[in-house]
Structure 1
Amino acid sequence: MTASLAGSGDRVIRHLAYDGEAGQWEMLRTHPHQALKSYVIDYSGYRETQGSEIWRRELPCSFVPLIINFGPAFHFRDDPRSPATQTSFTAGVYTRAVIVGSRGAAFCVQVNFTPFGAWRFFRLSQSELESRTVSLDDLLGAQGRSLIAELHDAPGWPERFALLDDFIARRILAAREPDANVREVWRALTASHGTASIVALARTSGISRRHLAKLFRAEIGATPKTMARILRFEHARDLAHKVPRLGWADLAYAAGYADQAHLAREFKDLSGLTPQELLRRDRAETGILEQ
């Protein structure tokens, strides 16, 4: 892999700005280089220009975020497996919400990896990240510190995104490929939004469910059953926002839940909120704000 990926100068960068109850901030979002599309979902640059202390409820997700922070540390509430504060860090697969706070002066970039992208980038079993945050310094050491310094000193966001392309490509494209069985089962689970039969997928792959679960925890970060729950939850939230006229029973059916009660239990278990509370508080511009 060369030191620089060509063709990143034409990337589209979407700029968002907010001025309201959560203070003032700007966010820039863009896609990675084409060579990384299977491994990185997107990049976000974020900066709060002013504001008071802000706490947000972060929900379980099927991607792996990496936060590279140039500002004050983030604070975590009710997360017993993680430090109370983190500066630059990644978060593994969670099956419950985590409350994250900033002091109103955040300045960071976020990389959202696919599970296989995270596995190849960090080069360790993703089970080691399960239900906790781990600092970038612990994961990458001097390489991570050098990356933070280069990104901080870059003249602007386009240059930061190009630096990320090059750094991530050097690590990912030199790493070994994921297990073919895990790749196929993950493809089927994501295509079905978590509703595909895991028993049938294991049978088709020719390996036992137990062995498949072990491989999944290493390369994806959780078992197929856990990831299916998260994928179904993400799909239900997305449907609820895109098709608000759906009643709860219809939403449960469309998202693959057994019934409305099943949907309600899963929403409460994964988010800590009822479906009604979650959809009322879930805002694209602010996330889920906490008191």
Structure 2
Amino acid sequence: MSVPPPGAHNRRVRTPNPTAGWEIARPARPSAPGAIAMAGFRIRGDGLSELRAIPHPAVTIVVDFGERPLTVSEAGGGSRSGSLVVGLGFRELRVRADLLEAVQVRLSPLAAREVLGVPLAELGGNVIALEDLWARDAGRLRERLHDAHTWQDRFDLIDSALSQRLRARRSIEPEVAWVWQQIMASHGLARITDLAERTGRSRQQLWSRFGRQIGLSPKRAAMLVRFDHAIHRLADGHPPARVAAVTGYADQAHLHRDIRAFTGATPAAAAAEPWLAADDTAWPTRMVTGVR
């Protein structure tokens, strides 16, 4: 997949359903807080009623502003509507995608607690209404996005709201932040025991601190990052056996088990999801691994 040039704002991608048109926008300039990446989505077309959300190594904020509210259905049968926060490492979520208008934020867990005001260990992989965290500010932001005239105006509004919530003091310990960065940089292949030794912590101490501050154990975080790397390679058309070999899985069956565990789908079905095809347009620089 080609990566669009930095100045390109609005792009369309063709989903497997040819009647469903996607408009994808991204900021013309980087967001002020270095850990935050944003994209705007407008999906028109009744032929595409539901999409599978693919887990990603980021906390997700979605602020909807269209006439029809965003609706997310969970594997257990529950659903939520409106602007939402989705925790790190969620599982088996489906999004009603017809007539969707929203700005999505992929937020590094190194900044998420400050922005959201809730420990990530409490957030877990759950879906929470943004109003439960931001109270009336969430509704005000939605109204302002609805009234905005351009995507860049909407990005500026989101950027301002997020920046106001980022404090100078960081709540993530340097050792924990470094371990997360190493997991991301290695695509999930870094040995957790080696990382613990290099921080001067015992394995037990690292797992406790990391889990409390990131919301996942180091092992689970590495599995999520490795899965993300692998599923994108599958979406790019690489053979499953080759993907398993280069992304650190024991074999193709191991890769298949992880994909089903994270998505509830077969590798072929998960890799064909339109969200993955949109990633190189919506998130051309990928996630930033640290907080600047």
2:26 maps to what in 1? 29
Q: Distance in 2 between the 1:286 and 1:33 partners?
A: 19
2:285 maps to what in 1? none
Q: Distance in 1 between the 2:106 and 2:12 partners?
A: 20
For residue 248 of structure 1, the aligned residue among 240, 244, 254 is 240
How far the C-alpha of 1:76 sits from its partner, in A, is 3.3
How far the C-alpha of 1:75 sits from its partner, in A, is 3.0
User: Unpaired runs of 5+ in structure 1?
Assistant: 1-10
Instruction: Tell me, yes or no, if the aligned pair for 2:145 and 2:154 is still in contact at 8 Å.
Output: yes
Q: Please give the per-residue CA displacement for 1:81-116, whole angstroms capped at 9, x wherever unaligned.
A: x952220011002353212224x2222111111111
Q: Please give the per-residue CA displacement for 1:156-195, whole angstroms capped at 9, x wherever unaligned.
A: 1111111222221121144534211111101111111111
How far the C-alpha of 1:255 sits from its partner, in A, is 0.1
1:98 maps to what in 2? 93
User: Unpaired runs of 5+ in structure 2?
Assistant: 1-5, 280-292
The 3 A distance-change label for structure 1 pair 54 and 125 is same
Q: Distance in 1 between the 2:210 and 2:103 partners?
A: 28
For residue 73 of structure 2, the aligned residue among 72, 77, 91 is 77
The 3 A distance-change label for structure 1 pair 25 and 192 is closer
Matched, 1:114 2:108: yes
Greater RCO, CA 8 A, separation 6+: 2
Which is higher, the Rg of structure 1 or of structure 2?
1
Q: Distance in 2 between the 1:199 and 1:232 partners?
A: 17
The 3 A distance-change label for structure 1 pair 49 and 267 is closer
Trace 1:130-279 onto structure 2 (pairs within 5 A).
130-242=124-236, 244=238, 247-279=239-271
Work out the number of aligned pairs and report it: 271
How far the C-alpha of 1:24 sits from its partner, in A, is 3.1
User: Structure 1 length as normaliser, TM-score?
Assistant: 0.82
How far the C-alpha of 1:214 sits from its partner, in A, is 2.9
User: Structure 2 length as normaliser, TM-score?
Assistant: 0.82
Instruction: Tell me, yes or no, if the aligned pair for 1:57 and 1:99 is still in contact at 8 Å.
Output: yes
Q: Distance in 1 between the 2:31 and 2:278 partners?
A: 29
Instruction: Tell me, yes or no, if the aligned pair for 1:16 and 1:27 is still in contact at 8 Å.
Output: yes
Q: Distance in 1 between the 2:143 and 2:273 partners?
A: 36
Matched, 1:54 2:49: yes
- Report the aligned-residue RMSD: 2.6
